[in-house]
A and B are shown apart, each in its own frame.
Chain A
Amino acid sequence: GAVVSQHPSWVICKSGTSVKIECRSLDFQATTMFWYRQFPKQSLMLMATSNEGSKATYEQGVEKDKFLINHASLTLSTLTVTSAHPEDSSFYICSALDTDSLQFFGPGTRLTVL
């Protein structure tokens, strides 16, 4: 199957700082990537759809100014959590869509905001 990587795998930061998470499709090009958030023992919550070369589409209730998404190339999308606060602590997972419209997920990034 296709491989998607995320970096970093975990990050701890102080409240008020910004954190950038990278999502890369390693062996295929992805016009579309998705960003999810997952709380312990809960299902995936779609935050936004990232399209290469255009603005991301955010789900209802997700603050676009807080969660900045950039999809600058066909293999890279980034999520920046701006002015992070403890309530932003979560598991963030990206996925990339291949040419068969199948989603392949990254391993996730655990964010802890102190």
Chain B
Amino acid sequence: QKEVEQDPGPLSVPEGAIVSLNCTYSNSAFQYFMWYRQYSRKGPELLMYTYSSGNKEDGRFTAQVDKSSKYISLFIRDSQPSDSATYLCAMSAITNAGKSTFGDGTTLTVKP
């Protein structure tokens, strides 16, 4: 069983929809939680990160971490065609020298 499981998708939504992207994990040592966005043929771009349970908001994006359930989510409000990309969740433990464990990614398409 993988340490990080990500909802596989793909997801296709109309413009303006609210998108929910989710990951679960099994390693209770994970303390850092990140979301990356990767456009086709590009390197991943760090979108959001949190160090603890709770919510963090940045514009149209909200990252949510529930450490008791080992579950993280990324919500995108008012989705735009430019949000079409693959989203990767990533997690790391303070003892692991920054090495992150990545989900397999969810590909999102936002249709105009």
Contact = CB atoms under 8 A, between A and B. Distances in A.
B43 A43 contact: no
Interface size class of A (residues with CB under 8 A): 20 to 34
Interface of B: 32, 34, 36, 41-46, 49, 88, 90, 92, 94, 97-100, 102-105
Contacts, number: 51
A97 B94 CA distance: 13
A54 interface: no
Contacts of B92: 101
A93 B49 contact: no
A36 B105 CA distance: 15
A105 B100 CA distance: 12
B97 A32 contact: yes
Interface string A4-34: 1010000000000000000000000000101
